Structure 1
Amino acid sequence: MIAKEFTNYIFKNNIIRFGEFRLKSGRLSPYFFNFGAFNSASKLSSLGEFYASTIIEKKIDFDVIFGPAYKGIPIALSTALSLNKKDYPDVPFSFNRKEIKQYGEGGQIIGSKIKGKRVLAVDDVLTSGKTIRNTKEIIESEGGILYAFLVALDREEKGLNTELSALEEAARECNVKIYSVANISNIIEYLNENYDKNHKFNKSVREYIEIHGSKK
């Protein structure tokens, strides 16, 4: 199972960290998905493999892979390369600039054109859904269709003003299919299998999810 393999990988390589971390949502989380730990060629290659395998396993259909700046850029590139190694049809990819370039080739998008294309966007973690909304705006401004969104980890948290998960909320609002390589349920399963239930990591995560977890 890809989700379980990925969960084992992020624990083994210290990509998931425990402590106190302030999120974009303002919540104080006992765990953090440290994307910056994908800091070598081998780790980035492994990340692309997990994304590519998830795309194939879940039969996600698309025309172009898009990586929203900044974290989405290396994810889009490594995923496209991994799909190519798996004899997947040659995958176009693109990403955006934070600021529109006014000289040279100009514009906001670098890479493959997305006008009229079904776009699969990739990013690291889904917390509030804000990135999905921003990405949809960028893609539609270029004439593309945000068809699906794939993240490494779905935190499975409810929105700030709803009992729906951030995933469900963003999916409904943006009319987009959202997928994840793994989710917080996989993290809890790993903790239960490898730590006593009263261990500080295990206990703090379960308590946090009890308060902020979605009811889906």
Structure 2
Amino acid sequence: MTADPTLAADIDAVCRLSGTFTLRSGQVSSEYFDKYLFEADPRLLARVAAQMVGLVPADTELLGGLELGGVPIATMVSSLTGTPALFVRKEAKQYGTCKLAEGQDVAGRRVTLVEDVITTGGAVRDATRALREAGAVVEVVVCAIDRSPEGENPLADVGLEVRPVLTKAQLDAARA
């Protein structure tokens, strides 16, 4: 698959907001990438998903979309690859099946996580630990945007490889 040469510029134009924002990590930022603006746009979402397909390991058995932003991306990538999707909650629901992950059983299965934006990796780290406790093999997360510092893997502590469609540096360069 060839790279989408205007994707970074198009996402940056639609999603970069200026102001004062508190991130999930508690960090305060003067800019924010509102990923829901591209996820709600079917054309941009399709372009991100198309680029993500090539990042998914060939031995993936389930695509684990993280609540909430990873779910639409995982659904699109699932549709493009034929790999079943799994919807991973932030915490197990307290009623019905009481599941953390909705979809097929994860025990013994290779799950590639799908996330929208990673900065410190907190939500991905939590999901990785929970899925591993349920017996899943989780080694890779693919994401639309990696906002972590260039050259750093915020998920190295849990042995997770991060494969982004775009990095903050690419978005910054597209803005220039």
Q: Report the TM range for the smaller structure's normalisation.
A: 0.7 to 0.9
Question: Bigger CA drift: 145-154 or 2-11?
Answer: 2-11
Determine the C-alpha separation between the residues in 2 that align with 1:21 and 1:100.
Answer: 28
Determine the C-alpha separation between the residues in 1 that align with 2:146 and 2:117.
Answer: 6
What are the ranges of 5 or more consecutive residues in structure 1 without an aligned counterpart? 159-163, 193-216
TM-score (norm 1): 0.70
User: Match for residue 50 of structure 2?
Assistant: 52
**1:4 CA displacement:** 4.1
Determine the C-alpha separation between the residues in 2 that align with 1:182 and 1:74.
Answer: 17
Q: Does 2:69 align with 1:71?
A: yes
Pair 1:39–1:117, CA change in 2 (3 A): closer
Pair 1:114–1:30, CA change in 2 (3 A): same
Aligned-partner residue type, residue 46 of structure 1: L
After TM superposition, the structure 1 = structure 2 runs for residues 134-213 of structure 1, keeping only pairs within 5 Å, are: 134-157=126-149, 165=152, 168-170=153-155, 172-192=156-176
1:12-62 deviation line (CA, Å, top 9, x unaligned): 4x212122222233333222110222464xx14532442332332x46331
TM-score (norm 2): 0.84
Pair 1:39–1:47, CA change in 2 (3 A): closer
Pair 1:4–1:28, CA change in 2 (3 A): farther
What secondary structure sits across from 2:124 in the alignment? Answer: helix
Pair 1:143–1:38, CA change in 2 (3 A): same
**1:7 CA displacement:** 0.9
The structure with more helix, counted as a fraction of residues:
1
What are the ranges of 5 or more consecutive residues in structure 2 without an aligned counterpart? none
Higher-Rg structure is: 1
The number of aligned residues is: 174
**1:122 CA displacement:** 0.9
Aligned-partner residue type, residue 30 of structure 2: P
Q: What's the C-alpha RMSD, in Å, of the aligned pairs?
A: 2.4
Identity %: 24
Determine the C-alpha separation between the residues in 1 that align with 2:64 and 2:154.
Answer: 21
